Amino acid sequence: MQVTWFLKAAEGGYVRAMYNIAMRYSVGEGLVQSHKLARKWMKRAADRGHSKAQFEHGLSLFSEGNMKKAVVYLELATRAGETAADHVKYVILQEMSTSCRDRAMLLADNWRPLPSSSR
C-alpha cells in the first residue's frame, strides 16, 4: 500500500517520492526489481535537484563509463552537501583531460533543476 502512494506521489512530481521509488526499484522492495526503472526515476529526481539522487545517478553514469556526465551530477551533489560525491568526483577528475574537466564543470555551473511537475 505504501509503495502505491509513493508511486502516485512520484508520478505527481514529488521529488522525494521519485528518489524513494528509484531506491525501491533498485532493490526490489515492494516492487519488482528493475534497474531500468530505478535509473529512470533516479534521473528524474536528480534532474529536479535531489542531492542523494544526483550522487546515485552520478555513480550510475560512472559505472556506465560516461565520465563527463558523472562528474556533472557528482559536482551538483557535492555542492548540495553530499561529501561522498566529492571523493568519487575527485577520482574521476584525475583521469580526465583538462578540457573535459572544464566542460563538465561548466555544465554543472550552468545546470538548473527541472520543475518538479515536469516529466
**What does the alpha-carbon distance between residue 45 and residue 95 come to, in Å, rounded to a whole number?**
28
User: How far is 26 from 34, CA to CA, in rounded Å?
Assistant: 6
pTM over 0.75: yes
- Per-residue pLDDT tens, the chain, 119 aa: give them: 689 999 999 999 999 999 999 999 999 999 999 999 999 999 999 999 999 999 999 999 999 999 999 999 999 999 999 999 999 999 999 999 999 999 999 999 999 999 987 65
